[in-house]
Amino acid sequence: MSITPLMPVYPRCGVRPVRGEHCHLISEDGTRYLDFASGIAVNLLGHSNEHLIGAIQHQAATLMHVSNLYGSPQGEHLAQRLVDLTFADTVFFTNSGAEAVECAIKTARAYHQHAGNTERFELITFKNAFHGRTMATISASNQEKMHKGFMPLLEGFRYVEFDDLEGVNAAIGPRTAGFLVEPIQGEGGIRDASPEFLQGLRALADEYDLMLIFDEVQCGVARTGDLYAYEQYGVTPDIMASAKGIGGGFPLGACLATEKAARGMVIGTHGSTYGGNPLAMAAAEAVLDVVAEPAFLAEVKAKGERLRGRLEQFIGNYPDMFELVRGRGLMLGVKMKIEPRPFVAHMRDNHQLLTVAAGDMTFRVLPPLVIDDSHIDEFMEKLSAATASYTVEAEPA
Ligand SMILES: *Cc1c(COP(=O)(O)O)cnc(C)c1O
């Protein structure tokens, strides 16, 4: 037998973390890494946060799981909190981002089908998008590398160029049910939509009675310095998927919707065994206790600006290697002029700095939101040493 017990679907690197200390990870062999990846925008409070650990420990000892057969004081409380903090009137809890997007897709379809419009099932989605790895969410993305081997795709998605309002306008037809878009593409390379684009989608949705779905799985939950990125654009969706950071490392997702958008999501139409269990609710409450505070959000913005400023100044010294810095808050991307993946590996293996590669020649800088200036200093030192040694290495002898 040659297949590994862990199904070999990931190209895992040599780092084998066994412990976390705030913004650092310690691997099996004792090496200490600066974690500016945060488990892909998940560990908002860093590792070993006492408030989060305490909440999970307390809830684990009280009640972990009961299923959705019973009333949920824990779910009601967290849902009310999210409703108070956002555009939404109602929330469905899931265990992951892809499931939150699935729920969003179902909610948009049901909105039309509940009113008898069975022909309106198509969502317009965007090139270079990432919405997860389930059949519906890979079908929602045009990326062929995720489709290969898994055909046929699910019907009902039409791909248009990101940030191309004209293209969207031309793609709307009698089958269109709505739009599914990441306000800031994450895996696609930290590409933020223009305000005009999202505002234009909102206007088209209003004009044609379509559902505007934001996938804020990566850009949501304080990452940009607002609780959700849509606030920065001044554009309110009808439905929104949230996950990644929302549980601070505990698996949790949420699909948020307005009352109108959720009109088809009636008893018996959707479900999840674990979704919203008391343990997950306790984790999310602890995360929100910290990140939903206006002073904390302001700090994320300020730290994001300092980090971005330092990055922009730095990359100017290496015009052959780096092109630009983009993103918002502590969701930053550095677009390179060379392949980013080997450089990400070099920073990791030779300078103990963790970042994440992404599409469009970009690597992502996604630190825990609790970093302070000492972590920004450490990051810049490591990045600068890594860049210097990479340039030397790359020079012909
Ligand atoms: C990560 C991600 C998902 C999928 O989340 P999973 O928890 O991996 O299922 C969906 N959408 C976006 C924008 C993401 O970044």
Of ligand 1's atoms, which has the minimum distance to the CA of residue 129? 13
Q: Give the number of the atom of ligand 1 that is nearest the alpha carbon of residue 98.
A: 9
User: What number of helices (H) and strands (E) belong to the chain?
Assistant: 13, 17
132 touches ligand 1 (CB under 6 Å):
yes
Q: Is the alpha carbon torsion for 101, 208, 231, 293 positive or negative?
A: negative
Indicate the residue among 264, 291, 318 that finishes a domain.
291
Task: For ligand 1, say whether the CB of 329 is within 6 Å of any of its atoms.
Answer: no
- Residue indicated by tokens 């590996």: 345
Distance of alpha carbon 376 from alpha carbon 300, whole angstroms: 12
Q: Give the pLDDT score at 394.
A: 56
Q: Helices 50-62 & 278-291, crossing angle to 10 degrees?
A: 160
Which residue from 125, 130, 364 has its CB within 8 A of the most atoms of ligand 1, so it is best to mutate? 130
Q: What's the token pair of residue 138?
A: 């890979």
Centroid of ligand 1 to alpha carbon of 350 (angstroms)? 29
Answer with the one of 240, 256, 291 that is the final residue of a domain: 291
pLDDT-derived band of residue 233, with 50, 70 and 90 as boundaries? very high
**In this structure, are 276 and 300 located in the same domain?**
no
| Domain membership of residue 302 as a residue range | 17-48+294-394
User: Within 13 Å of residue 305, how many CA atoms lie on the same side as its CB?
Assistant: 6
Pocket test for ligand 1, best of 101, 133, 185, 223 (most atoms within 8 A of CB): 101
Work out whether strand 211-215 and strand 176-181 pair parallel, antiparallel, or are unpaired. parallel
Strand order in the sheet with 157-160: 90-94, 253-257, 239-242, 211-215, 176-181, 122-126, 157-160
Q: Does 8 map to a domain?
A: no
Residues 27, 70, single domain; the answer is no
**Closest to 107 in 3D by CA, of 237, 216, 220:** 237
Last residue of a domain, one of 291, 306, 323: 291
Task: Verify that 106 and 243 share a domain, yes or no.
Answer: yes
My answer on whether 160 and 79 are in the same domain is: yes
Is residue 172 located within the same domain as residue 88?
yes
Q: How many domains does the chain have?
A: 2
Share of the chain above pLDDT 90, in %: 98
DSSP summary character for residue 247: G
Looking at the structure, tell me whether residues 324 and 203 fall in a common domain. no
Index of the ligand 1 atom closest to the CA of residue 182? 13
207, 93: one domain: yes
Q: Does ligand 1 lie within 6 Å of residue 217's CB atom? A: yes
pLDDT digits 0-9 by tens, 156-171:
999 999 999 999 999 9
Q: Are residues 323 and 365 in the same domain?
A: yes
**pLDDT computed for residue 397 by the predictor:** 45
Residue identifier of the C-alpha nearest atom 10 of ligand 1 = 131
Residue 35 lies in a domain: yes
Q: What CATH number is attached to the domain comprising 367?
A: 3.90.1150.10
Pocket test for ligand 1, best of 131, 133, 135, 214 (most atoms within 8 A of CB): 131
Residue type, 251: P
Does residue 256 belong to any structural domain of this protein? yes
Burial (Cβ within 10 Å: 0-12, 13-18, ≥19) of residue 70: exposed
Q: What is the pLDDT of residue 396?
A: 52
The pLDDT mean for the chain works out to 97
Quote the CA–CA distance of 162 and 368 in Å, as a whole number.
28
Examine the domain organization and report whether 247 and 150 are in the same domain. Answer: yes
* Ligand 1, atom 15: closest residue by C-alpha: 218
Same domain (yes/no): 276, 380: no
Residue 85 forms part of a structural domain: yes
Rounded distance from Cα 115 to ligand 1 centre (Å): 30
**pLDDT the model gives residue 395:** 52
Q: Are residues 178 and 140 in the same domain?
A: yes
Cα 319 to ligand 1 centroid, rounded to whole Å: 32
Of 224, 221, 223, 266, the closest CA to residue 240 belongs to 221
Confidence of residue 324 (pLDDT cuts 50, 70, 90): very high
> What integer pLDDT is reported at residue 393 of this predicted model?
57
User: Which atom of ligand 1 is nearest to 216's Cα?
Assistant: 13
Is residue 2 one of the residues assigned to a domain?
no
- Binding site membership of 216 for ligand 1 (Cβ less than 6 Å): no
Q: Are residues 154 and 210 in the same domain?
A: yes
Q: Establish if 139 belongs to a structural domain.
A: yes
For residue 97 and ligand 1, the question of a CB distance below 6 A is answered with yes
Helix (H) or strand (E) run with residue 348 in it: helix 340-351
Q: What is the longest distance spanned by two Cα atoms in the chain? A: 71
**pLDDT tens, position by position, 246-278:** 999 999 999 999 999 999 999 999 999 999 999
Res 106: pLDDT = 98
- The predicted-structure confidence for 341-386, as pLDDT tens digits, reads as follows 999 999 999 999 999 999 999 999 999 999 999 999 999 999 999 9
Has residue 158 been placed in a domain? yes
For residue 134, the domain's CATH number is 3.40.640.10
Percent of the chain with pLDDT over 70: 98
- Report CA(30)–ligand 1 centroid distance (Å): 30
Chain-centre distance of CA 311, in angstroms? 22
10 inside domain: no
Centroid of ligand 1 to alpha carbon of 242 (angstroms):
9
